[in-house]
C-alpha cells in the first residue's frame, strides 16, 4: 500500500525554526508534484507550498520568505524548512503527493504532524 509519512513536528517558540520531512513508500510509478498543506483548529485546510518534478515551487503569501520546500526525487521525499515561525503557523501539517500509481494519477496524503508555535 502506498503511503506518505510525515515527521519533524513539535513545539517551538515564536521566531524559531522547524524542519518537516515526508517520505513516500509503496508502488509509485512517478511523482508529479509534492506539497505541504496545513489545518489549524476551526479553519479549513490550506495549501502551504508545492514543488513540481521540474523543481518549480509555489508558496502561499503568508509563508513566503520564511518557508522553503525541497525534494529528493530519488528518494520520493519532500521537506519543508520553516523559519521565523509565528503562532499563526500552529496547525497540523499534511504531506501531499500528486503521483501516478500505475497508469492512474492520484492525490495522496500523509497522516499529519502537529506543529505548535507558542511561548
| Three cell numbers written together for 69 | 520546500
Span 83-106, pLDDT tens digits: 999 999 999 999 999 998 888 899
Span 45-86, pLDDT tens digits: 999 999 998 899 999 999 999 999 999 877 788 999 999 999
**Residue 43: pLDDT above 80?**
yes
Of 107, 118, 99, 110, nearest in space to 38 by CA: 110
**Quick one: how far is CA 119 from the chain centroid?**
24
| Three cell numbers written together for 91 | 496547525
* pLDDT given for residue 27 in this prediction: 74
CA dihedral 9, 49, 45, 112 (to 10 degrees): -30
Q: Which regions of 40-76 does DSSP assign to beta strands (E)?
A: 46-52, 57-59, 67-72
Residue predicted with more confidence, 74 or 23: 23
Q: Which regions of the chain does DSSP assign to beta strands (E)?
A: 3-7, 10-12, 18-25, 30-39, 46-52, 57-59, 67-72, 77-82, 91-101, 104-109, 113-117
- CA pair distance 57, 70, nearest whole angstrom: 9
* pLDDT, mean of residues 17-28: 89
* pLDDT given for residue 82 in this prediction: 98
* pLDDT given for residue 31 in this prediction: 87
Question: Residues 100, 25, 50, CA angle at the centre, nearest 5°?
Answer: 60
Amino acid at each position: 500500500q502506498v503511503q506518505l509519512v510525515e515527521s519533524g513536528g513539535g513545539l517551538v517558540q515564536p521566531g524559531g525554526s522547524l524542519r518537516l520531512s515526508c517520505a513516500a513508500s509503496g508502488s509509485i510509478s512517478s511523482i508529479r508534484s509534492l506539497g505541504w498543506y496545513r489545518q489549524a483548529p476551526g479553519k479549513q485546510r490550506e495549501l502551504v507550498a508545492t514543488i513540481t518534478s521540474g523543481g518549480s515551487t509555489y508558496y502561499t503569501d503568508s509563508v513566503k520568505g520564511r518557508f522553503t520546500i525541497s525534494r529528493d526525487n530519488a528518494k520520493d521525499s519532500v521537506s519543508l524548512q520553516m523559519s521565523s515561525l509565528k503562532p499563526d503557523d500552529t496547525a497540523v501539517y499534511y504531506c501531499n503527493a500528486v503521483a501516478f500509481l500505475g497508469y492512474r494519477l492520484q492525490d495522496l496524503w500523509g497522516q499529519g504532524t502537529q506543529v505548535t508555535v507558542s511561548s
